[in-house]
């Protein structure tokens, strides 16, 4: 482990700017979510369940918009994608604080559909700005900055909502997000390496990477390249889909843990501890992310997911607030590393020309996992107490992680099979379309 690995990453101006801008954008984003819930409950006089419907409508819209907005980033660039979003966001959030409950659902959904894809944009900037060998470190810094913003945003949101009228608090917070998006539009950082890079090549091809962390190893037999995985849509091959599944499962575990923490502390009769216990959980993730970024190698996302799930299950053994706080902090150590690994692994497997859409699908996968994790944990808690929530979401994470590791082992064994001689396999090669997931070279002469 070398903490000095962060020095050259932070020395890059584009990376520094992306990290700072990401923090400034995400703080009002997290705060806005809390204020929206409090606005529905206190100002509109609705229940928490009805507040959840507003959040669910916006979340579903964000999940639907992710791949679409990412595809626009790939095709028409940052400014032409973000510009219309800023207009729609400004109009929606100028109206939302002053309408009734039913119109608020529609306005929140429309705002979610045109949300500025800041996570996608900033991570693309970071990936483009640093060499391949520094990517894990840079993405770990981004995950750590996200944890800091998550720790600060909700606290600021609660303070604004209790100090001001929730309508004005919502307006100020969301317009601050629009202003941060405008700064992003104004700066207009490049998202790709530009025409000098190999068109359509994966980073493994450009940088000469050939490790096994992506689950599909480079061919080391000296023969012809291994047959490329079949793509379901453009760049989405079986290994890529597996990483998306891991991303969804990681947020399933995290959102289920979030709900279970609240249920546990209510059961212990200490709801006042919810805030600082959640902060400890985030701090554990922050420390874990920084340590992972300084580590000397990457790990498969499925190993990290297995660790995340395996440290989540024992939280169910807590017998009081002190032991619970310790176990929750430990369970947080692999949160940021797991998310970082999903982004890093995808960036190695997916050609640069699809990077915006890749990040869009990644965001949608994580959103879907969050949407599933909370009700799954809630159902388990209703039928077996707070401890059952940790056991169920952790168990689901372990099942997916073990399945991914077994599938990766099968892929590696298949990749080591002797290659078919060129003359014998020529007829079959003509119909093979795609790119080798490790090198990015065409698997055959036939092109789209």
Q: Which CATH architecture has domain 203-217+229-418+432-440?
A: Up-down Bundle (1.20)
- Determine the Cα–Cα distance for residues 34 and 37; give it in Å rounded to an integer: 5
**101 near 40, Cβ under 8 Å?**
yes
**127 near 5, Cβ under 8 Å?**
no
Bridge partners, 236 (sequence order): 233
Q: Collapse the DSSP code of 395 into the 3-class scheme (helix H, G, I; strand E, B; otherwise coil) and give the result.
A: helix
Torsion angle in degrees (nearest 10) through CA of 151, 267, 378, 281: 20
Check for a shared fold between 1-191 and 203-217+229-418+432-440.
yes
119 closest CA partner among 395, 448, 428, 362: 362
pLDDT of the chain, 448 residues: tens digit per residue: 666 777 888 888 888 888 888 888 888 888 888 888 888 888 998 876 788 788 888 888 888 888 888 888 888 888 998 999 999 999 999 999 999 999 999 999 999 899 888 888 888 888 888 888 888 888 888 888 887 887 788 788 888 888 889 999 999 999 998 998 898 899 888 887 654 444 444 444 333 333 444 443 444 334 444 454 555 556 778 888 889 999 999 999 998 898 888 888 888 888 778 778 888 898 899 898 888 888 777 788 999 999 999 999 999 999 999 999 999 999 999 998 999 899 888 888 888 788 888 888 888 888 888 888 888 888 888 888 899 999 999 999 999 999 988 887 665 555 555 444 443 333 333 333 333 333 333 333 333 3
Domain 1-191 has CATH 3.40.50.1100: no
Tokens of 46: 């609705």
**247 near 339, Cβ under 8 Å?**
yes
Write down the domain spans for the chain.
1-191, 203-217+229-418+432-440
- Determine the Cα–Cα distance for residues 361 and 245; give it in Å rounded to an integer: 11
């Amino acid at each position: 482990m070398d903490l000095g690995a962060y020095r050259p990453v932070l020395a890059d101006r584009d990376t520094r700017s992306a990290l700072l801008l990401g923090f400034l954008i995400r703080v009002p984003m997290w705060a806005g979510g809390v204020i929206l819930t409090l606005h529905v409950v206190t100002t509109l006089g609705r229940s928490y369940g009805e507040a959840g419907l507003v959040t669910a409508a916006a979340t579903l819209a964000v999940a639907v918009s992710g791949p679409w907005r990412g595809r626009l980033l790939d095709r028409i660039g940052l400014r032409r994608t973000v510009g219309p979003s800023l207009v729609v966001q400004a109009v929606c959030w100028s109206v939302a604080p002053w309408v009734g409950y039913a119109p608020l659902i529609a306005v929140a959904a429309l705002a979610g559909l045109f949300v500025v894809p800041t996570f996608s944009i900033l991570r693309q900037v970071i990936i483009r700005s640093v060499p391949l060998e520094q990517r894990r470190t840079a993405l770990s810094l981004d995950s750590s900055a996200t944890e800091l913003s998550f720790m600060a945003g909700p606290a600021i949101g609660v303070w604004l909502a209790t100090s001001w009228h929730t309508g004005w608090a919502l307006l100020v917070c969301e317009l601050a997000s629009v202003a941060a998006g405008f700064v992003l539009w104004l700066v207009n950082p490049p998202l790709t390496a530009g025409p000098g890079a190999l068109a359509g090549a994966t980073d493994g091809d450009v940088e000469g990477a050939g490790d096994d962390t992506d689950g599909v190893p480079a061919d080391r037999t000296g023969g012809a390249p291994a047959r490329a995985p079949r793509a379901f849509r453009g760049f989405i091959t079986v290994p890529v889909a597996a990483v998306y599944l891991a991303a969804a499962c990681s947020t399933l575990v995290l959102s289920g843990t979030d709900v279970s923490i609240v249920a546990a502390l209510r059961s212990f009769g200490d709801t006042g501890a919810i805030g600082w216990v959640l902060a400890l959980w985030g701090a554990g993730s922050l420390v874990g992310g920084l340590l992972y970024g300084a580590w000397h190698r990457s790990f498969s996302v499925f190993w990290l997911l297995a660790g995340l799930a395996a440290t989540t299950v024992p939280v169910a053994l807590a017998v009081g607030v002190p032991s619970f706080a310790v176990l929750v902090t430990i369970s947080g150590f692999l949160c940021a590393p797991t998310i970082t690994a999903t982004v890093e692994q995808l960036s190695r497997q997916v050609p640069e020309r699809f990077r915006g859409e890749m990040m869009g699908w990644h965001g949608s996968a994580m959103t879907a996992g969050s949407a599933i994790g909370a009700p799954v944990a809630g159902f388990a808690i209703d039928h077996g107490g707070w401890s059952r929530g940790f056991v169920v979401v952790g168990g689901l994470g372990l099942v997916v992680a073990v399945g991914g590791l077994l599938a990766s082992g099968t892929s590696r064994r298949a990749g080591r099979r002797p290659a078919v001689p060129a003359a014998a396999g020529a007829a079959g090669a003509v119909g093979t379309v795609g790119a080798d997931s490790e090198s990015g070279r065409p698997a055959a002469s036939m092109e789209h």
